[in-house]
Amino acid sequence: MRASTSLALSRSRPGSAARRPTTLRAGVLAAVACVAFATGFAFATGFAFATGFAFATGFAFATGFAFATGFAFATGFAFATGFAFATGFAFATGFAFATGFAFATGSAFATGFAFAAGFAFATGGVVAAFAGDRAGVRRVVIGAPIARRWRL
């Protein structure tokens, strides 16, 4: 009887061996953290690639369209006037630059935000797992509803 009472008391004491994560639990948390890191990194990399490709395509389209429009305007409207040609060309160049610059700025912001979000997700998962913080794993890595369902 005395042994069971002693065991019950040791489980209720803060910092006792019963409260520390077991090797299996620590392994599961580390595996979850690795999956979270891989997911976050893949998300950031894929999003950056997609954004870069969209930027290249959009910039080429904007430059080509603005140049074609400006050149057609200058050629068709003012074939004999050098000043009108210069104005049309300046309009085309300025429009292409403004469009490309606005697209580049938005693309850089989106890429940075996606990378920051993915990195924060991965970092939070690793920190929570290695600290053995079950509440942190629930919040950061797999979400509270799933964690409650799996009793993590």
pLDDT in tens, 54-75: 677 776 676 677 667 666 665 6
Contact 40, 121 (CB under 8 A): yes
Domain ranges in the chain? Answer: 22-150
pTM of the predicted model as reported, rounded to 2 decimal places:
0.29
Per-residue pLDDT of the chain (152 residues; tens, 9 = 90+): 455 555 554 555 555 555 555 667 777 777 777 777 777 777 777 776 776 776 777 766 766 776 676 666 656 655 555 565 566 666 767 766 766 666 666 666 666 676 766 666 666 666 666 666 556 555 555 555 555 666 65
- Taking the C-alpha atoms of residue 30 and residue 130, their distance in angstroms, rounded to an integer, is 7
